[in-house]
Amino acid sequence: MESSNEYYLEKAPIRKAVFSLSVPMMIGMSVGTIYNVINAFFIGLMHNTNMLTAVTLGLPIFTILMAFGNMFGVGGGNFITRLIAKNKVNEAKSAAGYTFYSSMIAGVIIAVAAVVFINPIVKILGADSLSSSYTKNYALTMFLGGFAVILNFALEQMVRAEGASKESMYGMFVSTALNFIFDPLFILVFKLNVVGAAAAMLLANLGSSIYYIYYLDKKSEKLRGFMGYFKISIKNKMEIYKIGISELLMSFFLIITTLLLNNFSIGYGDSVVAGFGIALRIVQVPEFLSMGVMMGVMPLIAYNFSKKNFARLTEGIKTSVLFIVILSAIFGGIVYVFRVEVLHFFSKDPSVMKIGGYIMLAMLISSMFNGTTGLFTGIFQASGKGISSTIMAVTQGMLYIPVIILLHHFFGLDGVIWSMTITEIITFFVALILYIPFKLSL
């Protein structure tokens, strides 16, 4: 008897399949954006700038932990989908078990390394003498419990591997709800300040991890009992890592990109920095929605690639591209028309309003290309194309460095503002060039 999740992957009308797989991910990721501001909000209620600085400086720690989680999750999840498509259920369970235990082992290794090198880490994060102790406490707490973050992101991808996008979304809801509960409890009631903020985030991730483990081990249609499996062949490990490493590289390049943008923009004053901050937050919305589509359809692509159902695969890609383009165009058009009102919601400073509108235009154009580029990368990952996935990861990250340096040198602030847009357009065409031989091979 065919499973309900496999129905969406194999037989459902393609528009229904893309919609059913993508919408829960879009909702889940939209809720997940709240995550980024909850900690800062409750720490802000303490009226201590050094605490707020520590939480802000510690953001890359979460990104690093998430990157390792996605390395195991994206690599393992896509491989599991391809195995399920071939009805290799025991191999899929072994891959799931390996992904699960490896995530926890990686968390322990990272924690030990962080304790040993905590002082240099705090300096790299940029803490000064006033915020140093708070940053150290926050960083130590995050790293010591970091296995929960790695595990959460790895398990979430495994849940989606068999097309269970609704259950993936439920896990995101669990995590966000727990963070809302633990943050005020630890920060305001128990007075644990930055340690409480970190602990709340870690327990929220642990809570959603427990939900995912319960679902996979007890309710999953294909992976039930996965915790009893661990040993897999070197060949299968390579299938996981050849895709997972590209995901890890993309996350690390994202950190470098953010640091570069901050470094160049800060030289033009607080108004420019504020303008970038506002524009980035607004443009995050269509980018997260596009990412939701990409992440939602990855199991569909992986399943049909493995089944060699190339007609359905191609139709799924076309529908997904159309979905992303329409979303980006509608959102971009609305925001641009009402850009003054949108900016006014965040700031009433005339200088911020002026430069913010200009930055937003560049960012909205960038988002039109970013969503489709992300989908191409997802296609390469889902079909096990490790070389193409790595090229995309390296191109998007490495290209931004010379682009922003050169454009800043020749065009100043205009160059900094348009550097991301230029990078995204070039990366889009690189993805298109890589997709052509992929398409011809189907």
pLDDT in tens, 20-40: 999 888 887 776 666 666 777
* pLDDT exceeds cutoff 70 at 1: no
Q: How far apart are CA 242 and CA 100, in angstroms?
A: 17
Compute the distance between CA of residue 19 and CA of residue 205 in angstroms, rounded to an integer: 27
- The answer, yes or no, to whether residue 2 has pLDDT greater than 60, is no
Q: Among 41-50, 84-93, 102-111, 144-153, which stretch is predicted with the lowest mean pLDDT? A: 41-50
Determine what percent of the chain falls in helix, strand and coil, rounding each to the nearest 5.
90, 0, 10
**In the structure, what pLDDT confidence band is assigned to residue 227 with cuts at 50, 70 and 90?**
very high
pLDDT digits (tens, 9 = 90+) for 83-116: 999 999 999 999 999 999 999 999 999 999 999 9
pTM of the model: 0.87
Task: Report residue 314's pLDDT band, with 50, 70 and 90 as the boundaries.
Answer: very high
Q: 362 near 420, Cβ under 8 Å?
A: yes
What pLDDT is recorded for position 56? 75
204 within 8 A of 178, measured Cβ to Cβ: yes
Cα Rg of the chain, angstroms: 22
Two tokens at 348?
Answer: 């009433």
Q: Which of 383 and 54 is assigned the larger pLDDT?
A: 383
Determine how many CB atoms are found less than 10 A away from the CB of residue 127.
22
- Least confidently predicted of 51-60, 137-146, 305-314, 316-325: 51-60
Residue type present at position 279 = A
> Taking phi first (over 0 means left), then psi (-120 to 50 degrees means alpha), and beta for anything else, what does residue 366 get?
alpha
Question: Are the beta carbons of 100 and 226 closer than 8 angstroms?
Answer: yes
The residue extents of the domains of the chain are: 12-232, 258-441
Question: What is the C-alpha separation between 257 and 405, in angstroms, rounded?
Answer: 12
Q: What integer pLDDT is reported at residue 3 of this predicted model?
A: 55
Average pLDDT, the chain: 90
* CA–CA gap between residue 215 and residue 163 (Å, rounded): 13
**Distance, CA of 211 to CA of 76 (rounded, Å):** 19
DSSP assignment letter at 109: H
